[in-house]
Chains A and B, each alone.
Chain A
Amino acid sequence: MKPRIPNWPVIPSSEITPESLWLRRRDFMKAAAAGAIVGGLPSPAAGATTPLDFRQGSCDGCATDEAATPFDDVTNYNNFYEFGTDKDDPAKHAHALTTDPWSIEVTGHVNKPGKLNLEDVLTGFDLEERIYRFRCVEAWSMVVPWIGFPLADLLKRFEPTSDARYVAFKTAYRPREMRGTRSFTSVIDWPYREGLRLDEAMSPLTLMTVGLYGKTLPNQNGAPLRLIVPWKYGFKSIKSIVSIELVDRQPRTSWQTLAAQEYGFYSNVNPQVDHPRWSQRFERRLPSSLFNPNRIPTQMFNGYEEQVASLYKGMDLKKYY
């Protein structure tokens, strides 16, 4: 009797490349080629996104039932000036950013200053999905399913002292990997800086974000770790964070330094306060099309008034824009 031999090769499932990695095979080849040239092999995970374990966020304001902007639009239409000022520049050039290894330094007015490695971030916090509206100061908006955890959870581990009144963030600054920072005509003073008041940072809506659409962040969206502050204009949601400092005075942010009359420290979404060069009363919800521009009225605090308005009680929002 002839032994039964299957006429197809048997491949153990352990040898099958996960689809997410297979889809990025060209990046491996590019990375491998680059590694061969500079002499050191970069991490094989550079630029690849991997699935995350998370639960559905259930807090007040954690999810909107508005239609989410498609993944391709969220990941191909970005402002991330470290990689160029065109909307498609980040998707084209952010693969050059090495995100592994990655660590965040937490310093300033805290009892336990220290460093947090990315692995510890991914395993040490409960990840949840939050579906937020995202409103850019340029008057376009998206709806994005982010994955992350409250910034408050992170800050508490380092025990802010009573002197800590503000939080200052910095993006990585690596001219060799970030072609936009090498532009001679750019007027931004790198690294990119942002800041929040401590109570804003502690709001349950303020999200330390590590992923979108179920997977780790693509580089162009601020990998491996970014901030999402859904009631503020998008530029407040700083990307690829390497430093968090607890300070006692309001820190200067990059856009404030560049044009203080246009971009305030608070930069809360506010249809009543126009940008000096354009109106903020409406937004184009992406994707928009030529025959249906999808122009919708902008909401106060981007629709999160109920959750965050109390933070600004008694403040003149025209003055503190």
Chain B
Amino acid sequence: MIAAKLKRYISFSGLQGPAPKTVFVLALMPLLLVVVQVATNDLGPDPAEALMHITGEWVLRLLVLVLLARPASQWGWPLLFRHRRMLGLFVFFYATLHLLVFAQVYIGWSGVILVEELAERPYILVGAAAWVLLAPLAITSTNAMRRRLKQRWRQLHQLTYAVAALGFLHILWLARSDLGTPLLYGGLFAVLLAWRLRVYLRRRNRRESP
């Protein structure tokens, strides 16, 4: 009886996965952790740099999950796909935090410094461009917008790949001597993009052939 119950539970959870609430709380955990670290002064002597690293790295991690969602669901693991929208919104959320920390601790909300930084620091410009591309994706993530935009919605949201490319460029440009992190994310993004292109090309071939 217990075995049957367990089996039912497993198959049920396999079908449904965790509730959106659970995913929401999980995705919020890095922020909660950082808040605790800030409150307990546990981020070291340069909390600004630590915060930039933490928020930036979560943007990249969640971005990998978002791009992985469709291939994973086709390989029989639909969990990520079911929560893709929320994960995508969290990408935007952490990217926005990243930007706010930058504005507060690196440029002190000075418009003059901002313009100079954007003009002189290519990696900042690239990061800012990635955020600008993310904003319309977040705004058009509602069901209503999706219906309204129809086919355009898909095309628009393929910008996610452009965001990933900019994100990679951003960290590659920042690296000083160890290319480990840029290569890790660059590699992951490249594989996911290659998979998407393969699907796209296959579909186009099918349409072209009689």
Residue of B nearest to A274 (CB): B120
**Given A277-B122, A279-B116, A279-B120, is A76 in contact with B178 using a C-beta cutoff of 8 Å?**
no
Residue of B nearest to A278 (CB): B121
B94 vs chain A, min Cβ distance (A): 17
A167 vs chain B, min Cβ distance (A): 23
In the complex, what residues of A have CB within 8 A of residue B180's CB? 85, 183, 185-186
Could you tell me if B178 and A284 are in contact, using CB atoms closer than 8 angstroms?
no
Give bound CA distance, A72 to B49, whole Å.
17
**Given A290-B38, A290-B51, A293-B105, is A188 in contact with B46 using a C-beta cutoff of 8 Å?**
no
Could you tell me if A289 and B47 are in contact, using CB atoms closer than 8 angstroms?
yes
Could you tell me if A85 and B44 are in contact, using CB atoms closer than 8 angstroms?
no
Total chain A interface residues with beta-carbon distance under 8 A? 29
Q: Pick the contact of A290: B45, B47, B174, B179 (CB < 8 A).
A: B47
Could you tell me if A293 and B104 are in contact, using CB atoms closer than 8 angstroms?
yes
- Scoring B residues 148 to 188 as 1 if CB is less than 8 Å from chain A, else 0, what string do you get? 00000000000000000000000001101111100100000
Could you tell me if B179 and A187 are in contact, using CB atoms closer than 8 angstroms?
yes
Residue of A nearest to B104 (CB): A290
**Given A278-B121, A284-B48, A287-B45, is A293 in contact with B178 using a C-beta cutoff of 8 Å?**
no
**Given A73-B45, A288-B45, is A293 in contact with B108 using a C-beta cutoff of 8 Å?**
yes
**Given A277-B121, A284-B46, is A185 in contact with B183 using a C-beta cutoff of 8 Å?**
yes
**Given A279-B117, A293-B104, A293-B108, is A286 in contact with B177 using a C-beta cutoff of 8 Å?**
no
Residue of B nearest to A282 (CB): B113
Chain B: interface size category? 20 to 34
Residue of A nearest to B53 (CB): A86
Asked if B77 is at the interface of the complex by the 8 Å CB criterion, the answer is no
Could you tell me if A77 and B44 are in contact, using CB atoms closer than 8 angstroms?
yes
Asked if B93 is at the interface of the complex by the 8 Å CB criterion, the answer is no
Could you tell me if A81 and B177 are in contact, using CB atoms closer than 8 angstroms?
yes
Could you tell me if A288 and B178 are in contact, using CB atoms closer than 8 angstroms?
no
- Scoring A residues 211 to 245 as 1 if CB is less than 8 Å from chain B, else 0, what string do you get? 00000000000000000000000000000000000
For chain B, residues 80 to 125, give those with C-beta under 8 angstroms from any C-beta of chain A: 101, 104-106, 108, 116-117, 120-123
Looking at chain B's contact residues, the main secondary structure is helix
- Scoring B residues 28 to 49 as 1 if CB is less than 8 Å from chain A, else 0, what string do you get? 0000000000100000111111
Asked if A203 is at the interface of the complex by the 8 Å CB criterion, the answer is no
For chain A, residues 69 to 120, give those with C-beta under 8 angstroms from any C-beta of chain B: 69-70, 72-73, 76-77, 81, 85, 87-88
**Given A186-B178, A187-B178, is A77 in contact with B46 using a C-beta cutoff of 8 Å?**
yes
Give bound CA distance, A284 to B173, whole Å.
21
**Given A274-B120, A277-B121, A277-B173, is A293 in contact with B179 using a C-beta cutoff of 8 Å?**
no
**Given A279-B116, A279-B120, A290-B38, is A258 in contact with B47 using a C-beta cutoff of 8 Å?**
no
Residue of A nearest to B107 (CB): A295
B137 vs chain A, min Cβ distance (A): 28
Asked if A140 is at the interface of the complex by the 8 Å CB criterion, the answer is yes
Give bound CA distance, A72 to B117, whole Å.
32
Could you tell me if B177 and A87 are in contact, using CB atoms closer than 8 angstroms?
no
In the complex, what residues of A have CB within 8 A of residue B183's CB? 185
Could you tell me if A185 and B44 are in contact, using CB atoms closer than 8 angstroms?
no
- Scoring A residues 42 to 78 as 1 if CB is less than 8 Å from chain B, else 0, what string do you get? 0000000000000000000000000001101100110
Could you tell me if A288 and B48 are in contact, using CB atoms closer than 8 angstroms?
yes
Q: Pick the contact of A87: B44, B48, B51, B178 (CB < 8 A).
A: B44
For chain A, residues 158 to 197, give those with C-beta under 8 angstroms from any C-beta of chain B: 183, 185-188
Could you tell me if B44 and A81 are in contact, using CB atoms closer than 8 angstroms?
no
Residue of B nearest to A180 (CB): B178
A97 vs chain B, min Cβ distance (A): 19
In the complex, what residues of A have CB within 8 A of residue B116's CB? 279
Could you tell me if A286 and B176 are in contact, using CB atoms closer than 8 angstroms?
no
- Scoring B residues 43 to 74 as 1 if CB is less than 8 Å from chain A, else 0, what string do you get? 01111110100000000000000000000000
Residue of A nearest to B47 (CB): A290
Identify the 5 closest CB pairs spanning chains A and B, nearest first: A73-B45, A185-B180, A287-B45, A286-B45, A293-B105
What are some 23 contacts across the A-B interface (CB < 8 A)?
A70-B45, A72-B45, A73-B44, A77-B44, A85-B180, A140-B46, A140-B49, A185-B179, A186-B177, A186-B178, A186-B179, A187-B177, A278-B121, A279-B120, A279-B121, A284-B46, A284-B48, A286-B45, A288-B45, A288-B105, A290-B38, A290-B104, A290-B105
